[in-house]
Structures are given as structure tokens and as C-alpha cells.
Chains A and B, each alone.
Chain A
Amino acid sequence: MQAAVVHPGDIEAALQSPRARREVARPDVDAVILPSATLNPAQRVGIYQNMYLLRMEEALGNDYPGLKHFLGDDAFFALVRDYVQVHPSRSYTLNRLGDRLPDYVSVAPDVRRRDFCADLARLERALSQVFDAAETKALSAAAIDQVAPEAWETARLEPIAAFRLLALRYPAGAYLDTLHDEHHRHPPARRQDTYIAVYRRDYSVYRHDLTRGAHDLLADLVAGKPLGRAVAAALKRGGRKRPQPDDLFRWFRQWVAGGMFQAIEL
């Protein structure tokens, strides 16, 4: 019955599928499942089959509203139908169903503007992960002030658990910002390198757009590079767009104020 319920085709194709026939041969289905006064056995199994894809689509649409919005209902449903064939749920929760959707989209042959969609999905997955991550207490400005100046050179910073850093090739965040625009004004899905920190503070999820330089510094810090080395590397990168020390100080203050770090290892 499971094989028929999860089959993407119509119920007859589902019951005739090799997997279903390994469970029960098609002529025997009518001997296994009783008809009702109004429905034959195949139609009764079909009720569950119809609900299966609708439920998967609802779950993934909740986690990827931007992707669904960009593709449209029909294309998104087709994507879900194909995705769950390859990555069916193996968890007690539907929260994990979409974990591999961004990677799937990045190679799916039938997805319009695939690279943009993959970036959009990556951002939405990060938002979900941050939403559900453990709550960890953020470092306060007072805690930062207590660090002796000479200790900063080798200090390592640990981000809060609810934190993700993304380097994307498309303006996925800008698209998400326009989902509910009543005039349907959306930014073009054109190539534009985009850097975003996604984090949670007081149980609200935030997106913080970054320049390339800020992203690279933050990436070094959350990877555990000592602050002195991360700053030195940041000041050497970027050519003509090389950040200045004041830029680094300003960024660091923003990140601390945003509550992105939970600990300093001295």
C-alpha cells in the first residue's frame, strides 16, 4: 500500500508499479482491499495517494515560500513531486523533509532559472535552520569591553548556535523582501554576488546583508581564526575595495550588537 500511496502517477499506474506489485500483484489488490458502496478498492487507495503529494507540497511550501512564489504553483508542485521520489521523508517530522531541496534544485533539469532558485532555496533553508536552532546567550557589549586589549590578537570568537553565513550568486534576500508586494514588483533574477548573515535574537530571525569584505572577515571569525590574523587578512583583501580599519571596527560593533557571538576564547 505504501508503494501505491507515494507513487507520483495516477492510482492505476501506482498499483501497477514494480514496487507496488512486489507488495501485492495488481489483480490481487481487489482481493486484499474491500470495495465500499461507492468506491472500488483502487479508488479507496487513491484517496491516500492524492493526499500524500498535497501534504508534501504544503510542508515544503511552508519552508520555501520564496521558491514556490518564484516558480509558481504548478512548477513548484512538479518539483515537489519529483523531489520526494528521490528524497522521501525518513523522519518523524516533516521539518526535515526539505533539508536537501537546495542541492536538488541546483541540479534539477526542469527548474526555471535553476541557479537563482538554488540560491533562494539555500537562503530559505538557512532561515529555517536558524529558526529551529538552540538558543544560546549572546555576548554583551559589556563582556567585550572586559577583554584586555592585548588579548584580542589571539582571541577566537564563537558564533551563536542560531547563525548561518551565506555567499550567494544572486540577490535572493531582495527577492524574499518582495514576496508580499501587492504590485508584484520583484527584483530581476540577475547575477549579483550577495552575502548574508542569518541569525536569531530574542527568538526573532534576522538577515544582515554584508559586503564581500565583511563576509570574508566574518567567515574567518566563525571558522575560529584568531582575531588578529582575521583582521590582518581582511586588510589585505579586496584590492581597490580593501576595507579600512574603521570599517572593520564598525562591522565588529554591528555584529556584537546584533548578538551574533556567544563566547570569546582567550
Chain B
Amino acid sequence: MSNRWNLPDLGIGVGLRTVHFPHILSARPDVDWFEVLSENFMDTEGRPLHVLEQVVERYPVALHGVSLSIGSTDPLDVEYLKKLKTLATRTRAHWVSDHLCWTGVMGRNVHDLLPMPYSEEALAHTVARVRTVSEILERPLVLENPSSYVEFAQSTMPEWEFLARLAEDADCGLLLDVNNVYVSAFNHGFDANAYIDAIPADRVVQYHLAGHTNMGTHIVDTHSDHALPEVWDLYARSVARTGLVATLYEWDEDIPEFDELLAEARKAAAYRAALAAPRALAAAR
């Protein structure tokens, strides 16, 4: 299966992180693509942008943001969106993603991915905003499912239904973070497999995988360390539905050396190969 926009399967990628800049520029590692944190490069003309320009010359990139605040009741920040569009053009980004969340109201930004109620009113509100953003960016927005620690009594549907309906009604893409599915399933007590099975497969343009920190009473999405086998199982389950889709490993806390990060990301190769093998057999018959 391919996504409905025929956005490419970029392969296996990692996040572009400052600590790895020297290695990336000197060693030119054999990585398929990089995910670029949009806000880190929208407000600087210095070395980070200079490095990014060199990375873009050699590697495909996608942009991933944390401040779009698509679910907020504050007006969309048009200046932010213009800068984001400029960055997307400058980097030839294959897509632009952010999160299903809000990050602040009344002009403030708490710089966290705050959860939304999953109601008809919130759905209509978010659909309208996603459509506006997609028009400004002149491309379909891609939204990631968040990990969350709060649920609202006001919600009238599960998150996976909200996300699926949002994707269809707003015609947006999905970045399916299978670690976030695992984390939220633990925190809220729902079935992670049911979540995976409900996602419209042809709208998934990217995956995230990551580690997390289990506090006992809840799990925190720390993007640290290796992903659990259960998270890889969710990835396998989802890939069987979506087909080969760009996959990114996130590791943002106690970031290891680049080669260790890439080795963790490359575990996805086995799952992708397993998916390709039956098809190769069928083609050979």
C-alpha cells in the first residue's frame, strides 16, 4: 500500500541533533533521511542553519514541529506558519508534521503537548484549523498522535476515532508514533492494538519509534533509551497494514553516539524486510 499522496518511503531515519553535527558533516553517515525540528531552525541564521543547509544537500529531510498548537483556541500564528513554509521550501522537506495537541492559550506557550478533549466540538474546531494550515503551507499537514497523561470527561470518542475522523475530514496525513500509542494505552487503560487497527492506513506517511520511562503509576514519553519489544510489536502490526512507510527513531534524552542511535533505528529494517519478503515470494511465483 502507498499513502494517498504518494509521498515517498524515505526509509529509516533519525533526528538531526546538534550533538551529532560534527559527525554528520565529517563522516557523512549512511542514514536514509533526517527529521528536522522546525522551531530549532526558524529563529536562527547562525551555525545550525548553516549545518542544516549542508545536510539538506546530501540527505532527504522532513520537518517536525512542536509549537503549531493545532488544538488551541488562540488564533493560528500566521507569522509562524509563514516561517515554517519558508523553512520547508528551503530544506525541500518532503512533509511538514506537528502534533495533535495544544501548547498554550492567551498568547502563552508552555512548550508541552497538552491533551485535547475528543469531542465533536473539538473535532470540528481542529478540522477547520488543519485545513487552514494546509492551505497556507500549500501541502497536506501531517499530524502525530501524542502521548498523554490526562483524559477529559468531556470526550465522547476514543483518541483513535478522533484521529481517524480528523484525518479524513481535514484531509491530512498521519505520523503514527507507536511508542506514543503504547504510552497512552498504559496511562489510559485502552487496547493499543485496537488503536493501531483503527488508523486509516493510507494516511500514514511516517512512523515514530522511541523509548520511554515507566514510573509505575504512569509512563512518561521521554524519548530515551531503546524501544521495548512491545513497541516494536506495535510497529510490526501497523506496518503490516500500511506497507513500507518512512520510519524514524527518536532519542532525545541522554543522546548516544550517532552510530548507536542509527543501530537502534536500523532494527526497523528487519520488520520492513519481513513485510517485503512475502511480496517478493508472491512476485517470484
Instruction: List residues of A whose CB falls within 8 A of some B CB.
Output: 1-2, 5-6, 31-34, 36-39, 41, 43-45, 47-48, 51-52, 55-56, 59, 88-96, 130-135, 161-162, 200, 203-204
Q: Does the CB pair B217–A39 fall under 8 Å?
A: yes
Closest residue on chain B to residue A95 by CB atoms = B43
- Which of B105, B114, B217 meets A48, CB within 8 Å? B114
- Which of B43, B110, B216 meets A6, CB within 8 Å? B110
Select the stretch in B146-154, B195-203, B229-237 that faces chain A: B146-154
Bound Cα distance from A34 to B152, whole angstroms: 6
CB interface residues, B 146-180, toward A, < 8 Å: 149-154
Closest residue on chain A to residue B69 by CB atoms = A92
Residues of B within 8 A of A44 (CB): 149-151, 218
Bound Cα distance from A176 to B56, whole angstroms: 34
- Which of B77, B154, B187, B220 meets A92, CB within 8 Å? B77
Q: Known contacts being A36-B218, A135-B50, is A1 close to B114, with CB within 8 Å?
A: yes
Interface string of B29-50 (1 = CB under 8 A from A): 0000000000110111111001
Residues of B within 8 A of A6 (CB): 108, 110
Asked whether B135 is an interface residue with its Cβ less than 8 Å from the other chain, the reply is no
Bound Cα distance from A200 to B42, whole angstroms: 19
Bound Cα distance from A177 to B42, whole angstroms: 30
Bound Cα distance from A138 to B218, whole angstroms: 54
Q: Does the CB pair A200–B109 fall under 8 Å?
A: no
Residues of B within 8 A of A135 (CB): 45-46, 50
Interface string of B87-123 (1 = CB under 8 A from A): 0000000000000000011111111101000000000
7 A-B pairs closest in CB distance: A92-B67, A38-B217, A134-B45, A203-B47, A132-B44, A47-B149, A34-B151
Residues of B within 8 A of A161 (CB): 45
Residues of A within 8 A of B112 (CB): 5, 48, 51-52, 55
* Most chain B CB neighbours (cut-off 10 Å) among A31, A48, A95, A134: A48
CB interface residues, B 120-154, toward A, < 8 Å: 149-154
Q: Does the CB pair A33–B152 fall under 8 Å?
A: yes
State how many angstroms separate the Cβ of B214 from the closest Cβ of chain A: 12
Q: Does the CB pair B153–A32 fall under 8 Å?
A: yes
Q: Does the CB pair B108–A162 fall under 8 Å?
A: no
Q: Does the CB pair B114–A33 fall under 8 Å?
A: no
Residues of A within 8 A of B220 (CB): 47, 51
CB interface residues, B 198-232, toward A, < 8 Å: 216-218, 220
* Most chain B CB neighbours (cut-off 10 Å) among A5, A56, A59: A5
Bound Cα distance from A6 to B108, whole angstroms: 10
Asked whether B188 is an interface residue with its Cβ less than 8 Å from the other chain, the reply is yes
Q: Does the CB pair A34–B153 fall under 8 Å?
A: yes
State how many angstroms separate the Cβ of B207 from the closest Cβ of chain A: 24
Q: Does the CB pair A47–B108 fall under 8 Å?
A: no
Asked whether B5 is an interface residue with its Cβ less than 8 Å from the other chain, the reply is no
Bound Cα distance from A41 to B42, whole angstroms: 36
Residues of A within 8 A of B39 (CB): 92-94
Residues of A within 8 A of B189 (CB): 36-37
Q: Known contacts A52-B110, A92-B109, A96-B43; can you find 12 more A-B pairs with CB under 8 A?
A: A32-B153, A32-B154, A48-B114, A51-B220, A52-B111, A55-B111, A89-B111, A90-B109, A92-B67, A93-B40, A131-B47, A132-B43
State how many angstroms separate the Cβ of A58 from the closest Cβ of chain B: 10
Q: Does the CB pair B109–A89 fall under 8 Å?
A: yes
Q: Does the CB pair A90–B43 fall under 8 Å?
A: no
- Which of B46, B105, B153, B218 meets A162, CB within 8 Å? B46
State how many angstroms separate the Cβ of B168 from the closest Cβ of chain A: 27
- Which of A5, A56, A93 meets B114, CB within 8 Å? A5
Bound Cα distance from A36 to B105, whole angstroms: 26
State how many angstroms separate the Cβ of A67 from the closest Cβ of chain B: 20
